[in-house]
């Protein structure tokens, strides 16, 4: 993870290799957009956005890039019901709250010191590789 400050998206420096994955121009741009757009874009969102910089890129390539990045643990794929997958560069273990009113997806962190095994009755011998926590609801003014 080599991103600099997310406040200055234009300055994001992306190395030519991340966790063993060759960072081609296409993968760089896809990754850059995920760093900038923190609103969990779909593959198609990324596609439309990346075309500004790489007008000849194809949707299939965007899918390929996203898959390669997911596979190498550089980004995460997030699924809501059966909607299109969304992608997220936040690698810390976290869940997602989907505001039904606005459609906005908020990252939701665990409170410090919380361990899944303390909360769930896991089947004996279960070794967890991946956790997905998704909440749906509304944000009401308080």
Query: What are the residues binding DNA (CB under 7 A)?
Result: 16, 21-22, 24-27, 42-44, 54, 56-61, 63-65, 67-68, 82-85
Q: Which of residues 42-81 bind its own copies (CB under 8 A)?
A: 77, 79, 81
User: Using CA atoms, how far apart are residues 120 and 110, in angstroms rounded to an integer?
Assistant: 14
Kindly tell me which of 1 and 119 has the beta carbon lying closer to its own copies: 119
Tell me the CA end-to-end span of the chain in Å, nearest whole number: 37
Among residues 54, 3, 8, 1, the alpha carbon closest in space to that of 27 is found at 54
Which one of 22, 52, 82, 92 is in contact with its own copies (CB under 8 A)?
A: 82
Q: Which of residues 89-128 bind its own copies (CB under 8 A)?
A: 95, 97, 99-100, 106, 108-111, 114, 116, 118-128
- Asked if 10 touches its own copies (CB under 8 A), the answer is no
SS3 21: strand
62: left (phi over 0), alpha (psi -120 to 50) or beta: alpha
- Asked if 15 touches its own copies (CB under 8 A), the answer is no
């Amino acid at each position: 993870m080599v991103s600099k400050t997310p406040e200055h998206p234009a300055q994001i420096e992306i190395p030519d290799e991340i966790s063993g994955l060759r960072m081609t121009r296409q993968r760089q741009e896809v990754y850059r957009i995920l760093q900038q757009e923190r609103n969990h874009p779909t593959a198609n969102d990324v596609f439309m956005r990346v075309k500004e910089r790489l007008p000849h890129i194809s949707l299939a390539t965007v899918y390929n890039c996203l898959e390669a990045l997911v596979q190498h643990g550089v980004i995460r794929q997030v699924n809501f019901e059966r909607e299109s997958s969304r992608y997220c560069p936040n690698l810390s273990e976290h869940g997602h709250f989907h505001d039904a009113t606005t459609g906005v997806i908020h990252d939701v962190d665990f409170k410090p010191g919380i361990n899944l095994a303390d909360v769930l009755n896991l089947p004996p011998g279960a070794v967890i590789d991946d956790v997905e926590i998704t909440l749906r609801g509304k944000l009401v003014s308080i």
